[in-house]
């Protein structure tokens, strides 16, 4: 009995020692994990607009992250205690904050002031212009809004409708009756429907066969005489009103394609000495008088009274043209405004920067303020 008991003790002791070692390892791991935490926050300019692509880092360490499109950032692995954080972005003055990091983390909001070399703000107003392309007529009528009721793509996307009739029922004078049929001004007959300028057969059209996310815009004309002349049909086809539907396509998607480049792309070029900041040249790049002649206020935003400020950053080459693949949006309220700025600058001309008497590539920042009547 004694011999068997002695044989058991080492096995039991081994299990006890293994368990003790596991607990110690867990404790050490927990202790190691508790020595760091994350710092999160935002980076904005002095007007409160988010600054994307700003580098946020802990001084004296290699910890670095960049702010996203909305100016937000999360910096993990920061040592507990008091530290100095710095945010910097080309074209802005760097800012340093003292932050005390606790086990639960910390937050820090940076407000960057623009460097004095930023070019003056360009005012963009919705001057009447002649549009071209498949949707030219729609955009012109949308901007003037003289007659009819317009449902834009933004209206559709905000409502997140399941069916097209869910979109139409919000328009004044439109009734959705049994079976999803559309009636205008309480009439008993169906309106004349056009799709991309092509008339559908007279009579009932099941509008719910068209997915809402395939529609760029809708025009509603309650009376026969209200619709544009070319869409009034023949005879009395439009006596019960007219609906004009415009579909999405490559042309509409191109307008909304993001134009934000990688945030660190121009910084890398600058560090490599391939491009220069405004403070590093003798004569800064500057726009010619006709610089923004082609800048178009997006008609959908103009008609809705939507405006705001776009801050763009781009490289002007030695010939005085913007390099199309070196363009970034620091802040913008709407992708259509960003695209309008990008396309206008693509056709603009600049006086190139000069350094040591030679034309050089320069990083330029410009502001564009879109202001529509009754802007909100």
Q: What is the pLDDT of residue 23?
A: 38
Structure-block tokens of residue 144: 């003037």
pLDDT of residue 258: 66
**Rounded Cα gap, residues 156 and 337, in angstroms:** 19
Tell me which residue of 257, 249, 253 sits closest to 327, measured CA to CA.
257
Q: Where do the H-state alpha helices sit in 164-313?
A: 164-168, 250-255, 265-271, 299-303
For 74-113, write each residue's pLDDT tens digit.
999 999 999 999 999 877 889 999 999 999 999 999 999 8
Same fold, 36-112 and 147-252: no
* Residue 246 contacts residue 135 (beta carbons within 8 Å): yes
Q: Give me the pLDDT at residue 289, please.
A: 65
Quote the CA–CA distance of 136 and 130 in Å, as a whole number. 8
**In the CATH scheme, what architecture does the domain 36-112 have?**
Sandwich (2.60)
- Give the tens place of pLDDT for each residue, 141-159: 988 877 899 999 999 998 8
How high is the pLDDT of residue 204? 86
The pair phi, psi for residue 275, each rounded to 5°, is -135, 165
Phi then psi dihedrals of residue 365, to 5 deg: -120, 135
Query: What is the model's pLDDT at position 4?
Result: 37
Cβ atoms 65, 74 nearer than 8 A: yes
**Residue 118 vs residues 1, 162, 215, 285, 298: alpha-carbon distances, Å:** 92, 46, 40, 11, 25
Residue 2: the pLDDT is 34
Element housing 311 (H / E): strand 308-316
H helices within 162-234, ranges in order?
164-168
Could you tell me the pTM of the whole model? 0.68
Fold adopted by 147-252: Ferric Hydroxamate Uptake Protein; Chain A, domain 1 (2.170.130)
* Phi and psi angles of residue 150, each rounded to the nearest 5 degrees, phi first: -115, 135
Joined tokens for residue 142:
């949308």
**What residue segments make up the domains of the chain, in order of their start?**
36-112, 147-252, 257-371
Q: Is 335 helix (H, G, I), strand (E, B) or coil?
A: helix
What is the phi-psi region of residue 345: left when phi exceeds 0, alpha when psi lies from -120 to 50, beta otherwise?
alpha
Q: Which two tokens stand for residue 343?
A: 């396309």
* pLDDT at residue 69 in the model: 78
Distance CA 369, CA 376 (A): 13
Q: Containing H/E element for 364?
A: strand 362-371
Q: Look at residue 8 in the predicted model and tell me its pLDDT.
A: 41
pLDDT at position 3 is 38
pLDDT in tens, the chain (376 residues): 333 333 344 445 555 455 444 434 434 444 444 699 999 999 998 888 888 888 999 999 999 999 987 899 999 999 999 999 999 987 788 999 999 999 999 999 999 987 765 666 787 876 666 677 889 999 989 888 778 999 999 999 988 899 999 999 989 999 999 888 999 988 889 999 999 999 998 788 999 999 999 999 999 999 888 899 899 877 677 889 999 999 999 888 877 776 655 556 787 888 889 999 888 999 999 888 655 656 888 888 888 888 888 888 899 999 999 998 889 887 788 889 988 999 889 888 999 999 999 999 999 988 888 987 666 5
Fold exhibited by the domain 257-371: TolA/TonB C-terminal domain (3.30.2420)
């Amino acid at each position: 009995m004694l011999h068997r008991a002695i044989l058991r003790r080492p096995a039991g002791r081994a299990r006890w020692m293994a368990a003790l070692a596991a607990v110690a390892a867990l404790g050490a791991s927990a202790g190691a994990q508790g020595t760091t935490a994350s710092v999160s926050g935002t980076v904005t300019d002095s007007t409160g607009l988010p600054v994307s692509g700003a580098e946020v880092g802990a001084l004296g360490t290699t910890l670095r992250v960049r702010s996203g499109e909305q100016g937000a950032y999360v910096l993990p692995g920061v040592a507990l205690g008091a530290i100095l954080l710095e945010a910097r972005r080309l074209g802005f003055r760097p800012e340093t904050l003292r932050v005390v990091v606790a086990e639960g983390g910390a937050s820090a909001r940076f407000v960057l002031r623009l460097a004095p070399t930023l070019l003056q703000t360009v005012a963009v107003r919705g001057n009447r212009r002649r549009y071209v392309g498949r949707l030219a007529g729609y955009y012109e009528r949308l901007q003037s809004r003289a007659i009819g009721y317009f449902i834009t793509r933004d209206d559709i996307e905000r409502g997140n409708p399941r069916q097209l009739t869910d979109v139409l029922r919000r328009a004044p004078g439109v009734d959705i009756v049994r079976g999803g049929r559309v009636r205008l001004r309480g009439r008993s007959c169906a309106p004349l429907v056009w799709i991309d300028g092509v008339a559908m057969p007279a009579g009932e059209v099941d509008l719910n066969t068209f997915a809402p996310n395939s529609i760029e815009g809708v025009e509603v004309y309650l009376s026969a005489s209200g619709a544009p002349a070319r869409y009034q049909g023949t005879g009395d086809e439009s006596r019960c009103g007219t609906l004009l539907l415009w579909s999405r396509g490559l042309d509409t998607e191109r307008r909304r394609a993001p134009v934000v480049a990688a945030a660190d792309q121009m910084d890398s070029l600058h560090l490599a000495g391939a491009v220069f900041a405004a403070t590093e040249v003798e004569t800064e790049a500057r726009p010619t008088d006709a610089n923004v002649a082609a800048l178009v206020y997006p008609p959908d935003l103009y008609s809705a009274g939507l405006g705001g400020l776009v801050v763009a950053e781009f490289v002007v080459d030695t010939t005085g043209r913007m390099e199309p693949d070196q363009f970034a949006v620091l802040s913008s309220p709407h992708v259509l405004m960003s695209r309008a700025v990008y396309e206008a600058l693509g056709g603009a001309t600049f006086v190139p920067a000069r350094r040591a008497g030679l034309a050089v590539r320069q990083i330029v920042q410009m502001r564009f303020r879109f202001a529509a009547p009754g802007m909100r």
